[in-house]
Copies of this chain bind each other. A is one copy, B any other.
Amino acid sequence: MVNSFDPSKGPGDLAPDEASLLARRRRALGVLAPVFYEHPVHIVRGRGAHLFSADGADYLDCYNNVAVVGHANPHVREAVADQLTRQDTHTRYLQDEVVDYAERLLDTFPEPLDHVAFTNSGSESNDLALRMARTFTGHRGVVVTGNAYHGITALVSSVSPSFGTGLPLAPFLVSVPVDDVLKHPDGTFDDPDVAACARAELVARFEAAFTRLHDAGYGVSAVLLDQIFSSDGVLPGAAGWVGDVADAVHRAGGLLIADEVQSGFARTGERFWGFLRHQADADIVTMGKPMGNGIPTGAVVYKHGIGDTFAECTRYFNTFGGNPVSMRAAGAVLDEIDRLGLQRHARDLGDRIAASMNDLLADTPRFGGIRHSGLFLGVDVLADDGSGRPDPAAAARIIAALRERRVLISGSAADGSSLKLRPPLVFSGSDADRLLSALADVKPLFG
């Protein structure tokens, strides 16, 4: 996995108490609990976009899309603490909290997306969405992108090629590479002819996938797309192409599921949801990570006919889903996004960071271009021989060097050759300056 601690190498530069914590962790959590960095970071508290170690060292968090309204956000804390003085029972009783939040959430969607079911994670959301699509269409075939990641249940991991081939992918899955088309050298598709050409090529690839699924007897249940293509290298370009694919999958009898776990809740700046950037007629929208700022919660928003069909075939009840504490946390997140103007902030600051990084790195041989939408940025790292080949090892060195400067980012793409930056939305102008200053420090690593 990208940027992961390798326990076989021992504790490295860790202080003795941290090495001891790592050893205890290893004994209790075993090998199924990956840790970031060859030199892991020990965290005891956070504030805004900053995380702090026990000795008070201040890490700049440029990678957190859970704590979007800031680590230890006081408004979220107060909402949760207040609700815990009241009650935190499941939704089989009538309660105000789940209804109040559901209405607020649905207000952020276009009208056909008029119903919501609550879950506890993005994985549960995508799992439910795929079950709903399968029931509604009567088909099983699923199409995703080449290095897609959609979660960790048995079903969604089987439609996530980013896990590799150690466990079998679903037989009814076709994955479509999109990164070769969407990794445009200057990060944009400003030329309308280039954009139109890219969109047509992508639609043709998805239509070929639908034909394969029809021919194999699976039919087409859904296209499931992360709306920022986070694990494919961060691919915001050619805005609108997902809308074209939505039309195509509808023609093929399937649904478009917009996975907004990464791109939702104002992250991409231009619109509150990524699929709206693409003007896509999504049938189901899934969400998770940022929704509760760390309190586990997720949701599936859907056109009501899809839910009606599902309910005719089975029942659905999620014990923790929609619980009042999660709903109050989620409501406080919406409050903060609105109060602090975080959608516009994400757009403006994202643009500024991208432009500054471009200026800083444009003359370096390893810089392969930057792509971004709002506060979600991907930077390709190339070999320094002018071949244009991606260089995952160089990307890993840059990530590690930034960590030693206490700036936390990570990698993306199947080979880990893209840098991924995705800070809390409360990332400030001075946070951006610190990030850029650290990047200037490590600029020699760009060759």
Please give the residue numbers on chain A whose beta carbons come within 8 Å of chain B beta carbons, in ascending order.
Answer: 1, 18, 21-22, 24-25, 27-36, 40-46, 51, 64, 66-67, 71-72, 76-77, 80-81, 84-96, 98-99, 102-103, 106, 114-117, 120-124, 127-128, 130-131, 135, 152-155, 157, 163-164, 166-167, 288-289, 293-297, 304, 307-308, 310-320, 322-323, 325-326
Q: Which residues of B contact A80 (CB under 8 A)?
A: 80-81, 84
Copies in the complex: 2
Cβ of A131 and Cβ of B154 under 8 Å apart?
yes
Report whether B318 and A163 are in contact in the complex, using a CB–CB cutoff of 8 Å: no
| Complex-state Cα separation, A90 to B167, whole angstroms | 25
A42 partner residues in chain B, CB cutoff 8 A: 93-95
Chain B: CB-nearest residue to A24: B99
Which B residues touch A296, using CB under 8 A?
Answer: 120, 295-297, 320, 323, 326
What are 13 A-B pairs at a CB distance below 8 A?
A: A31-B307, A32-B115, A34-B92, A42-B95, A43-B95, A45-B86, A72-B86, A80-B80, A121-B124, A123-B124, A124-B124, A152-B316, A295-B296
Kindly list 20 other residue pairs between chains A and B, CB separation below 8 angstroms, not including A32-B311, A71-B89: A24-B99, A24-B103, A29-B91, A31-B307, A31-B308, A33-B91, A33-B322, A35-B91, A35-B92, A41-B94, A44-B95, A46-B86, A46-B88, A76-B84, A89-B294, A120-B124, A135-B167, A154-B155, A166-B314, A167-B314
With CB as the reference atom, state the residue of chain B lying closest to A305.
Answer: B30
For residue A290, give the distance in angstroms from its CB to the closest CB of chain B: 10
Q: Are A311 and B31 in contact (CB under 8 A)?
A: yes
Whether B121 lies near A46 (C-beta < 8 A) is no
List of B residues within 8 angstroms of A166 by Cβ:
312-314
Write the chain B residue with the least CB distance to A117: B32
Indicate if the CB atoms of B307 and A32 lie closer than 8 Å: yes
Given contacts A21-B96, A25-B94, A29-B117, contact A87 B45 (CB under 8 A): yes
* A155-B157 in contact (CB<8A): no
A30 nearest in chain B by CB position: B115
Contact across chains for B99 and A43 when beta carbons are under 8 A apart: no
Given A44-B86, A72-B87, residue A121 in contact with residue B318 (CB < 8 A) = yes
Question: B residues within 8 A CB of A122?
Answer: 319
With A35-B93, A77-B84 already in contact, the answer to whether A28 and B102 are too (CB < 8 A) is yes
Complex: chain B residue closest to A19, CB-CB: B94
Query: Which of B21, B41, B121, B315 is in CB contact (< 8 Å) with A1?
Result: B315
